[in-house]
Structure 1
Amino acid sequence: MDRRERVNDPEVALREALDGYRAGIWTALPGIVQSFQSAPGRSPTCSVQPAIKMQVRQLDGTIASVALPLLVDCPVQFPSGGNCTLTFPVAPGDECLVVFASRCIDGWWQSGGVQEQAELRMHDLSDGFVLLGFRSVPRALTDVSTATAQLRSDDGTTYVDLDPAGHIVKVKAPGGIVLDTPTVTVTGVMAVQNAGSASTAFSINGNTQFTGQVRANGKRIDDTHAHSGVQPGSGNSGQVI
């Protein structure tokens, strides 16, 4: 028995009643993703295990700490707007924050738009939204840039870095970069530096068209270049002038 039940005090009784009422109101909980579901024509959802246990009074009056039930089919929030979305490969073990709607979301989830409440439940575990990116200390993200915005891997080896002060975008991709596009337009000067061990710094496979001067090692190699040591006959010309 709760010792407050032994006190004949209306205020204590009211506080206990309010505590019991608040215990059934769910607002937000940290969670751990158990599975992620994404299929054509279906918004992505995931199953989440709440990461905080609940204390439950047993029949004998003792308090037991029990795990909350698995939260299934929780809509996943990806940053989105204006027909653009930033997605992530959600994986089991990812930590998150589950936010519970104040009213039943079933009608909206099924049909979109403005819908009637399918049930009159409030702040229920059945109406959770999953917000990604929240982390506990053991899974903290290290070496977070304090001066630039990054889209990065957790280990920091691969990233796209935007520097608002220097107006520079830097890309680091140890595995390479693939551009699948019919046209690439560069409006400024493109400098290629072979910082690795590859024998060729720049390679083109296919027809190449240039407008303007083309130089190699300081020598013009376009349609106006000239050669030294030219003599009529079958011999080869000399070096490019």
Structure 2
Amino acid sequence: MTVTRSWGFMSLEAQNSGNNALFWFVQRMLRKSVNTCLPCKVIGLDTSAQTVDVQPMVMQVTPDYKPKEHGVIYSVPYGLQRGGSAVLDIPPTMGDIGLVAFASRDISRVKSTKKAAPPATMRSHSLQDGFYVCTLWSDATPEHIISATPDGGIAITSPKTVTINAKSQFNGDVGISGNLIASGDVKAGNISLQDHTHSVTSAPGTTSKPE
């Protein structure tokens, strides 16, 4: 017999036999208590704690098929792409829609201590034990872009200044379509732009330094 599924209340088909009733009960408990992952909207952000407050985007449905919004899930940890002391720091922003995955055990103690710990409760696959995995969509227009494609190479695009706080080494030609502005000296080989001089062909001596 085909069982007509319903949202919450047992159907007449499910009541026709013990097997149907058991099948309905198991399905209902899975839908009710087991959360795997959901698209969620960021409605709160704490970059110092690396947590977001999110609201699931897939609504709940009442037994009479009326949609009902989920409540807010608070203090969901998010991660940065990192390995040891190397970090790619791109945190989520307000309004982003991202994927939140839910752990199979209570993670509250691990969240608070950042150390291995036993679960504080016996809950499993709970909305309280989520991780913000990544941003899927954003209404913001992309401005700061790092793109890498097989045909286009690597490109960095931004309307603002790109700051590099490091000693840099370029192995290859460097092309500049704008001005080159340096607060210090510029050298080509051993020749200084600030201190180099030129021989004077019409009189003894050399020219003065560039001004």
TM-based fold match above 0.5: yes
CA distance in 1, matches of 2:157, 2:14: 67
Q: 2:75 aligns with which of 59, 73, 76?
A: 73
Aligned residue in 2 for 1:107: 109
Per the alignment, residue 147 of structure 2 pairs with 161
Structure 2 partner of 1:15? 23
- Unaligned ranges ≥5, structure 2: 1-8
Residues 97-176 of structure 1: matches in 2 within 5 Å? Answer: 97-135=99-137, 155-163=141-149, 168-176=153-161
Contact 2:77 2:130 in 1 (8 A): yes
**In 2, distance between residues paired with 1:178 and 1:96?**
28
Alignment-derived partner of residue 228 in structure 1: 201
Structure 1 or 2, whichever has the larger Rg, is 1
Q: 2:43 aligns with which of 34, 42, 47?
A: 34
The structure-2 alpha-carbon separation of the partners of 1:64 and 1:188, relative to structure 1 and needing over 3 Å to count, comes to closer
- Residue aligned with 2:109, SS: helix
Partner of residue 177, structure 2? 193
Normalised by the length of structure 1, the TM-score is 0.68
Bigger relative CO (Cα 8 Å, ≥ 6 apart) = 2
Q: Deviations over 1:160-217 (max 9, x none)?
A: 3345678x54333343333334x443343433333xxxxxx323333445534579xx
- Secondary structure, aligned partner of 1:202: coil
Task: Give 2:181's match in structure 1, choosing from 185, 190, 203.
Answer: 203
CA contact (8 A) 2:42 2:97 kept: yes
Give me the whole-angstrom Cα distance separating, in 2, the residues matched to 1:206 and 1:4: 84
Task: Give 1:81 shift.
Answer: 1.8
Q: Which residue type is aligned with residue 201 of structure 2?
A: S
> Structure 2 CA distance, aligned partners of 1:191 and 1:2?
72
- The CA distance in 1 between the partners of 2:53 and 2:144, in whole Å, is 28
* Amino acid aligned to 1:50: P
| Secondary structure in 1 matching 2:66 | strand
**Which residue number in structure 2 is paired with residue 147 of structure 1?**
none
1:45 equivalent in alignment to 2:30 = no
Compared CA separation, residues 65 and 157, structure 1 to 2 (3 A): closer
Query: Percent identity over the alignment?
Result: 20
Q: CA RMSD in A?
A: 3.2
- Work out whether 1:55 is the aligned partner of 2:61: yes
Does the CA contact (< 8 Å) of 1:4 and 1:12 recur in 2?
A: no
Give distance in 2, aligned partners of 1:27 and 1:132. Answer: 15
The separation in 2 between residues aligned to 1:130 and 1:25, in whole angstroms, is 17
The Cα shift of 1:157 comes to: 4.7
C-alpha distance 156-72 of structure 1, shift in aligned 2 (>3 A): closer
Asked whether the 8 Å contact 1:95–1:134 carries over to 2, the reply is yes
Secondary structure in 2 matching 1:34: strand
Q: Which runs of 5+ in 1 are unaligned?
A: 141-153, 195-200, 216-220
Deviations 1:39-69 (Å, cap 9, x if unpaired)?
2xxx411100010111233xxxx44321121
CA contact (8 A) 2:14 2:24 kept: no
Cα distance in structure 2, aligned partners of 1:163 and 1:5: 55
SS of aligned partner of 1:3:
coil
User: What is the aligned length?
Assistant: 197
Task: Name the residue aligned to 2:4.
Answer: none
Q: What is the alpha-carbon distance in structure 2 between the residues aligned to residue 231 and residue 117 of structure 1?
A: 87
